[in-house]
Structure 1
């Protein structure tokens, strides 16, 4: 997986079906995964598993996907701050950040993709 810094370490994430990596930059811990080669429901399942790690403002989740995951964004969009970046190769990079007071109320066990 490209876009990872050299000090990124592979970690186990319960429920994940792809590799997750963890690294720290500027005091922020990043968790990153790539579902750009996966079909539904894998992007949703892995995003929900990864979002459980984001329990404070010093942690962020980076998702690399083949397109903007609208079903996921509809489901948890109000619970996290989300930055979207279109990559040169056509994939999409989403960065999910903790949103004080609302991230903890997201239902991250509902991994059904309704879209």
Structure 2
């Protein structure tokens, strides 16, 4: 999914990169790009962004230089995650609310063990 040109830049507590917010088909999307960042920034920003996903109408888009396995191992049971390889070799992940288990995610631990 392309981030629209008119997406609004938003402040996300704890983030170290820019986050953008836009709406499409009644869903609010937050998006960020850590493809030029090294560890632990992808994990730190993902944890900050995932705190925004509190209902089925809010999703988080992460663009990264590779599949963030440490992050996925930590939170994949708490979110529905769509993974897509982009034409330029980067990866895009779309995190969605998973009823009953998203609330149980430990988003305070942003250390990377992978």
Scaled by the length of structure 1, the TM-score of the pair is: 0.97
| Separation in 2, partners of 1:87, 1:21 | 19
Output the aligned Cα RMSD. 0.5
Q: For residues 53-90 of structure 1, give each alpha carbon's deviation from its aligned partner in whole angstroms, at most 9, with x where no partner exists.
A: 00000000000000000000000000000000000000
Report the Cα distance in structure 2 between the residues aligned to 1:52 and 1:113, rounded to whole angstroms. Answer: 17
- SS, match of residue 21 in structure 2: strand
Instruction: Output the CA distance in 2 between the equivalents of 1:29 and 1:9.
Output: 11
Q: Partners in 2 of 1:95 and 1:61 — Cα distance?
A: 6
For structure 1, which runs of at least 5 residues remain unmatched after alignment?
none
Instruction: Tell me the residue number matched to 1:69.
Output: 68
- Whole-Å Cα distance in 1 between the matches of residues 94 and 41 of structure 2? 17
In structure 1, distance between residues paired with 2:36 and 2:5: 22
1:103 partnered with 2:102: yes
**Structure 2 gap segments, 5+ residues each:** none
Aligned length, in residue pairs: 113
Partner of 2:23, secondary structure, is strand
TM-score w.r.t. length of structure 2: 0.98
- Which residue in the other structure is 1:18 paired with? 17
SS where residue 74 of structure 1 aligns? Answer: helix
CA distance in 1, matches of 2:20, 2:103: 22
CA distance in 1, matches of 2:83, 2:16: 22
